Amino acid sequence: MKLIHVVFALLLVVAGITIFVLTSEPPLNAAGIASDSIKGVSLGGDGAARLSTIGDAPLYFQIAVILLAVCLLMMGVNPKRRDTLFKGLMAGAGAFALFAWIMLYTSYQDYLATGQTDIVAGFPVPTNWFFWGVWGSFVVFNMIYVVFFNRYFLHPDDEKTFQDLVAELKTEKGGA
């Protein structure tokens, strides 16, 4: 199966979950409640009630989106250069992104169930997973880009081939 088929399948999964959510009867405060006393401010209210009709749809939605993002990123590397190390790096970084997301989601579920959370480095635990986990896990992909730039993203052979192509096209233009 080619990567594009996986991308297409994942897009259909995302679309399927979205349709399920859109057709679920939204609870009263699904997208927040306007504050009575403060203009322009909304409150979240009962977070658990907001998920009552869609259950864990957001969890699966984001898992599909992360997998989709990893597959799309892999498409950016020439198929003949996608060696075992590259696939391992992408799988590892993808697994880290999924881990960060699942930690965010489960710690948020814990908060909804108990109403309690610890504050670490100034913010609640789920929010730390959000700031540093969700953002940081994709920084790993950026680090792969920087560290393995010449191996996967601009191989010296590819650069040479491109320069040859430019020279060839210039010669053709000059001849014409």
Partner 1 sequence: MEAMRQEIILGCVFIYLLLCIGVGLWAMRRTKSAGDFFVAGRGLGPVVISLAVFSSTLSGFGFVGGPGLVYATGLSSVWMAVCSALGFATGYYLISKRIRMIAEVRDTMSMPDVVFARYGSETARLLTAATIILGVLGYLATQILAMALVLQSILSATDMLADISLLACVVISSAVLIFYCVTGGIIASVYTDLVQGIVMIISGALVVITAYSVFGGGFTEVSSILLEKDGEDIMPFGTLGSMASLSWYFLFGLGLAGQPHVASKMMMNRKLSDNRVVLPMTIFGYVIAAMLWVSVGVVMRALVLGDVALPLGAPDEAAPAFLSTYAHPLLAGIVFAGLFAAIMSTADSFLNIGAAAIIHDIPKAIRGKSLNNELFWARASTVGLAVFAAAIALYSGDLVAILGAFGWGTFAAALVPVILIGLNWKQASAKAAIVSISISLLINFVIQLYGIKVPYGISTGFLAMLTSMILFIGISLLEKPKKLPYDIDRIMDL
Write out the binding residues for partner 1, residues 74-103 only, by CB under 8 A.
Answer: 75-78
By CB under 8 A, residue 124 contacts partner 1: yes
Separation CA 65–CA 101 (nearest Å): 11
Write out the binding residues for partner 1, residues 5-34 only, by CB under 8 A.
Answer: 7-8, 11-12, 14-15, 18, 21-22, 24, 26, 30-33
Q: Among residues 82, 86, 98, 131, which is the contact residue for partner 1, using CB under 8 A?
A: 131
By CB under 8 A, residue 62 contacts partner 1: yes
Separation CA 97–CA 62 (nearest Å): 10
Using only C-alpha atoms, the chain has a radius of gyration, in whole angstroms, of 23
Q: Among residues 52, 54, 86, 114, which is the contact residue for partner 1, using CB under 8 A?
A: 54
**Is residue 120 helix, strand or coil?**
strand
To partner 1, the closest distance from the beta carbon of 129 in angstroms equals: 7
Residue linked to tokens 């009709």:
53
37 versus 84: smaller Cβ distance to partner 1: 37
By CB under 8 A, residue 108 contacts partner 1: yes
**Contacts with 105 (C-beta within 8 Å, 6 or more apart), sequence order:** 58, 59, 62
Q: How many CB atoms lie within 10 A of CB 62?
A: 19
84 versus 148: smaller Cβ distance to partner 1: 148
12 versus 85: smaller Cβ distance to partner 1: 12
By CB under 8 A, residue 146 contacts partner 1: yes
Residue from 108, 94, 1, 103 nearest 48 by CA: 108
